[in-house]
Each structure stands twice: as C-alpha cells, then as structure tokens.
Structure 1
C-alpha cells in the first residue's frame, strides 16, 4: 500500500472555510475508481499549517470514514514540537490508519542529532508505521542520508518521502539502508526519474487532478516499462510545473474545482486566491495533458 501512486490529498472547504464533506467524499471516490494506492490526509497539500489540531484530527477521521476501507489512509502527523507530534500520532492508534507521514520539524532548524532524537521519540511511542518526510524548501532543515540510515533501524520507520528534488539522494540513501526501506518521491516533476533510479513510488500533488495518469506512470515504471511511463509523463510535464507556479495548494485546488472534483477552491489566510496568469498556465497545461 506504500508503493506506487499515493495522493497528497487537498482538503476541500466551503466558501466559509468549513470542511466540505460532500467534496471530500467525491475526491475519495475519484481515487478509489482510479486505483490510487493510498491517500495522505492532512499533509502539506492538505493545508495542515492552517487547520487547528482538532480540525486536523477530524478531517483524518472523516477521510477514514468516507473511504470505508476501500483505500488505505495515511495520516499527516508531523509537528515542530516533538511532544505535539507524539500526541498527534498516538491519537490515531487503533483508528484504522495505515500509517503516518511525519515531516521534519519546521522553523526551529534542529541539528541532525535533534532530528534523530525527534523521530526516535515518535517511533518509541507508537506501533504505527512511520514514513519520514524531508522537504527542506518548506521546513528550513534537511534530513541527511546518514541520519535516515540511523532511523531506518527502528522497525516501524519504514521509509522516507524525499522531496528535495535532488536525484542523487536516492543512491546515497539506498547505500545506507536495507532493501525493504521505502524511497518515495515527493516531487512530481522528478518522480519518474526517481523511480527509475530505484524509488518505490510518489506522494503526488498532480494525482489530485490526474489520478489515473499518475497511477499508470507508476505502474509502468515499477514494471520497468519506462517508454510507456515517459509517454504519459511527457503529457503531464506542463501540469507538474504549473501546479507549483504559486505555493501549493493554491493552483491544485483551483484546478480541482475547475474540473468538477470540489465545489469551492477556498483557502485560508495567509494563502490567497489564484492569480489570473496562473489560471491561464493551468488551462494550457490541462489542454496539453488531454485531461
């Protein structure tokens, strides 16, 4: 369940900023129909930074309810305080969650020893599978391969979402971990190359609006049929790029609304409505992708 195409699901809201149950159900059904391997609920794309902890928990639990065991749900449980990350993780014990995606502590810029102790403490306080999440462009710290290697020795730390976009990281990590340690791309633009170099899948933003295509790319790539994978990915290149012209998830929420997956592209401040120029780029991208 932790390989192939995993979607970093958006969190649909109504025009007043409340969680939209109807749109969430439609999104989940869309991914079940298109055979996405798993859903990450309340990661970066799910707007974890602007939800209260109570809302965070409620959305994950609602996603579980609406999924109704049709697709595995991975909960975003990262925090910049270790005690908060442990508390959030423990909240999902015995809930039916398949595992947790835990981002490196943001803003306070811990050392490598601090990162090690942070994830060690989480691991020792839960039985849930843990996927590390490294995204230095957002957090201000970088989980280095040597630290990943040390953390991989904990039985419930099963892999990493590597979102640096640095393809050299794959071999560096692979040399230091066991073969069953999962390497998952967190960068749609380089995800196919990531898999070709030995990765196991992608936690994808693009999959929110191109679930079938991302699933097929992963399936072909994991079977070694890179010609077919690249043929599909070529059509999505402009889309991968356009979805990050403005900070994620501004573009992907607008596009999900445009193609009818959600009712509203409402965001919470400090995220602001999409620019007209970005809309034009997205419209061009979906035409090129033939979605």
Structure 2
C-alpha cells in the first residue's frame, strides 16, 4: 500500500508547548511539494508520548485535512495500553487516516504472546490497515520475527516498521512473511541497504529536513539502482547520524527551527538541543544547502 520515503513528521509547537496549527499545515505542504511519499503523523518524532488523547486525534485530523488526499497519511496510534491503542486507532479511522502505525507496548515488557494478543485485539477492533512498529531501543521489548509472522496472517496487519537497524533481521521477516507483507525501515542509516534487500520504504526522521533527497534515494533503492542510491545516501549520512545526537525528536525539531520551518517549542521532559550539538546539526544542514552559512 505504501512505499518510498515516509516522513515521521515532527509536531510543531509554540514556545509555550501549544501545537502550532499554522506551522503544521505548512509542513504538510512542504512535504507535498518536495515529493515525500507518505506522512506518519504523531509517531515518536511527533511527540506522541507528550500529547494527550484529544491533541493526538486533533493533530492527525489536521494532517489528513491539509493533505486532502494528495499524500497518504499514516497515524501513529500505538500505546502501552491495548484499550487506549484501540481508541486512538478508532479516532484515526474516523478522521480519515489511510493506515495506522502501532508501536510495541512500552514499559510493560509483555511476552511474545502478549504482543500477539495486543496487536490482534487492535486489528480485530478497528478495520483499518495497520503497521506494526518494533523499536526495542525505546520500548524495552523486542517483537521477534516469529511473532511478526503470526501477526502477518491477520488481514488488516499489512506490514512492519523495523527500527532495530539489523538488516538481517528484516531479511528474516521478509522471508517468513512473504513479499506481500510490507517491511519498512525505521533506521535511516541502514534504510538504503534494507530497501535493496526487499523492503518497501523508510519511515524517516531525516525526511523532515531533506524530503526531496530522501525521496530520490528511496526511489533509486527500490528500483535496485545501487550506485545512485549510495551516492545520495552518502550525502545524507551526516544527517542520519547527527539527528540522533540527542534523543529523537530533539535534534530534528531544532533543525526544522534552524531552517525556519517551525517555532522552537518542545515539551518537557524533552529539552532544546544542546548548543554544542546545534553547531554540528547546522553544519550538516549547510552542507546540503538547507540553511545559509
């Protein structure tokens, strides 16, 4: 259903932490104009952990309305509470999202059977395409390929975002689940290799600031054009690395602020990027012509 460069969209905020609706609308237009292939609204990069349920649904609604069908919108609706995940997923369907992205339940540390039952319950409760999201570095739980294969048999579970950075892990999932199950990278640094190995795209932090180049790199990788993809990816590697100098989305929100695309707001417990890292991120943006010297 989806392929290419799918931006994990940052949620712009005023200095006092309120969502900046005008900047959010402008970001959607920025991605439409720069060939981003899909928008993931209110995932980790969108500060899902600091938005309440009402705000969460409202941001998804605003992104869907601004997109106006010109670009697919995938709503982040995961939670460590199965009931809350169901409610967020229902809301996303009601406001017109094309699909939902559901992170493994964090903090609870469920078993593999608990993970299976959690995602099965959400899929059974809401008839919308759903994408699993495994990011053990943030959730303290790792959904194993065998569990993914079990879930792939559920009709409206269409794929997985794998953010382990382990290309062989993703190859194993592709082998177990078959070519119709959509595997997406959640790690910009290894996304090119994963797409060359058969994945469908990249749910990307870097695409927030370099959307056109990320689209071109992903399209080349999906077409098997290794040299073109590598040439583009080599130019992006500084961003892939330096947008994680502090916890996501701290660096990417500062980068967007530096580019003049959003205000500087971010919600506690997240804080503004440290000054010593601002210099590094600004330099990477300058190298790609995204900001002035």
- Range of TM-score over shorter length: over 0.9
Q: Is 2:270 the partner of 1:274?
A: no
- What is the rounded CA distance, in whole Å, between the counterparts of 1:95 and 1:257 in structure 2? 28
The answer to which of 184-193 and 18-27 deviates more is 18-27
- What is the rounded CA distance, in whole Å, between the counterparts of 1:265 and 1:143 in structure 2? 35
Q: 1:14-50 CA deviation, whole Å, 9 max, x = no partner?
A: 1121111111111100100011111000000000001
Alignment of 1:97-116 (within 5 A): 97-116=97-116
Question: Offset at 1:103?
Answer: 0.3
What is the TM-score normalised by the length of structure 2?
0.97
RMSD between superposed Cα atoms in Å: 1.0
Report what 2:20 is aligned to.
20
User: What SS class does the counterpart of residue 92 from structure 1 fall into?
Assistant: helix
- What is the rounded CA distance, in whole Å, between the counterparts of 2:95 and 2:271 in structure 1? 34
- What is the rounded CA distance, in whole Å, between the counterparts of 2:94 and 2:271 in structure 1? 37
- What is the rounded CA distance, in whole Å, between the counterparts of 1:38 and 1:95 in structure 2? 17
Question: Offset at 1:191?
Answer: 0.5
What are structure 1's unaligned runs of at least 5 residues?
A: none
Report what 2:75 is aligned to.
75
Alignment of 1:259-270 (within 5 A): 259-262=259-262, 264-270=263-269
Question: Offset at 1:176?
Answer: 1.0
Report what 1:60 is aligned to.
60
Report what 1:228 is aligned to.
228
Would you say the 8 A contact 1:184–1:203 is kept in 2? yes
Q: 1:142-191 CA deviation, whole Å, 9 max, x = no partner?
A: 01000000000001000000000111112211221121000100000111
Report what 1:51 is aligned to.
51
- What is the rounded CA distance, in whole Å, between the counterparts of 2:49 and 2:9 in structure 1? 14
User: What SS class does the counterpart of residue 85 from structure 1 fall into?
Assistant: helix
Question: Offset at 1:84?
Answer: 1.0
Would you say the 8 A contact 1:235–1:290 is kept in 2? no
Report what 1:195 is aligned to.
195
User: What SS class does the counterpart of residue 93 from structure 1 fall into?
Assistant: helix
Alignment of 1:158-197 (within 5 A): 158-197=158-197
User: What SS class does the counterpart of residue 132 from structure 1 fall into?
Assistant: strand
- What is the rounded CA distance, in whole Å, between the counterparts of 2:176 and 2:17 in structure 1? 44
Q: Is 2:248 the partner of 1:251?
A: no
Would you say the 8 A contact 2:77–2:92 is kept in 1? no
- What is the rounded CA distance, in whole Å, between the counterparts of 1:25 and 1:147 in structure 2? 38
What is the TM-score normalised by the length of structure 1?
0.97
Q: Is 2:209 the partner of 1:209?
A: yes
What is the aligned residue count? Answer: 290
- What is the rounded CA distance, in whole Å, between the counterparts of 1:21 and 1:11 in structure 2? 9
User: What SS class does the counterpart of residue 160 from structure 1 fall into?
Assistant: strand
Would you say the 8 A contact 2:206–2:240 is kept in 1? yes
- What is the rounded CA distance, in whole Å, between the counterparts of 1:95 and 1:279 in structure 2? 37
Report what 2:282 is aligned to.
283
- What is the rounded CA distance, in whole Å, between the counterparts of 1:93 and 1:172 in structure 2? 31
Q: Is 2:172 the partner of 1:145?
A: no
Question: Offset at 1:95?
Answer: 2.6
- What is the rounded CA distance, in whole Å, between the counterparts of 2:271 and 2:20 in structure 1? 19
Would you say the 8 A contact 2:130–2:156 is kept in 1? yes
Would you say the 8 A contact 1:41–1:63 is kept in 2? yes
Report what 2:87 is aligned to.
87
Question: Offset at 1:265?
Answer: 2.0
Question: Offset at 1:78?
Answer: 0.2
- What is the rounded CA distance, in whole Å, between the counterparts of 2:31 and 2:94 in structure 1? 24
Structure 1 segments (4+ residues) deviating >4 Å: none
Question: Offset at 1:62?
Answer: 1.1
